[in-house]
Amino acid sequence: MLNPSFAALVKNSPILPVLHMESVEDAVNVSRALYKGGITCAEIVLRSPVALDCIKAVSEQVPEMTVGVGTLTTPQQVTDSVAAGAQFLVSPSFTKTLATAMINTGLPMLPGVVSPSEITQALELGITEVKFFPAAQYGGAKTIKALSTVFSQVKFCPTGGVSLNNMAEYFANDSIFAVGGSWMVPKDLIANKDWDAITLLSKQAIDAIKDLDKCA
């Protein structure tokens, strides 16, 4: 790996919440609630006008939480996100241009892939940790199992359709080092500002992973 290991970053809580935040205040409170439940990393996606502001606020006000950015699709977004305080980088797709921009930051990173060709392109750049997205639509755990027989050096973080109910199926494959999802941060709980409920869902997720012996 050219960059710090993403797997090492999430080793103690191998679950990556995907946060679509519409409010800076909510982003701070959600991050605190997640951390209280045992989740130490959170990905704020660039799907709202205040996403970069949310990353900046969480990095400053919740320093115990490792906050990163998701839905990166351009090199300029990479630059802007790092300036806002993002500590890791996640993209939903793969191009050499985008991946190179991510590599050049020196931060832990996860480019998105779904095909053997994309994985091969990642390997050509020295990348061995990837996001598999959208996981459910591209065959989920079965597809990753098939890919891992060919690309044994690659580690995957599936996102998209992963939940508490099917998490064990993914973690049964040793090539999967973490999963991403948003089930512990449902929109209704955010709207109702029910931070305690988000903490409980986070703890439930972490406890389930511990039962699978995936936490350090």
- Return the residue matching tokens 């959208």: 134
Over the range 105-122, which residues count as b (16 or more CB within 10 Å of their CB) and which as e? bebbbbbbbbeeebbebb
Strand partners, 69: 44, 89
Catalytic residue among 43, 56, 118, 155: 43
Verify whether residue 43 is a known catalytic residue.
yes
Verify whether residue 131 is a known catalytic residue.
yes
Task: Read off the tokens for 195.
Answer: 């931070």
Contact criterion met (CB below 8 Å) for 64 and 35: yes
Q: How many CB atoms lie within 10 A of CB 78?
A: 25
- Alpha-carbon distance 176 to 130, whole Å? 10
Cβ-Cβ contacts under 8 Å for 132 (sequence gap 6 or more): 112, 113, 114, 138, 143, 144, 156, 157, 158, 159
Catalytic residue among 56, 118, 129, 131: 131
Alpha-carbon distances, residue 158 vs 41, 98, 117, 178 (angstroms):
16, 20, 17, 7
- Alpha-carbon distance 161 to 133, whole Å? 9
Which active-site residues does the annotation give? 43, 131
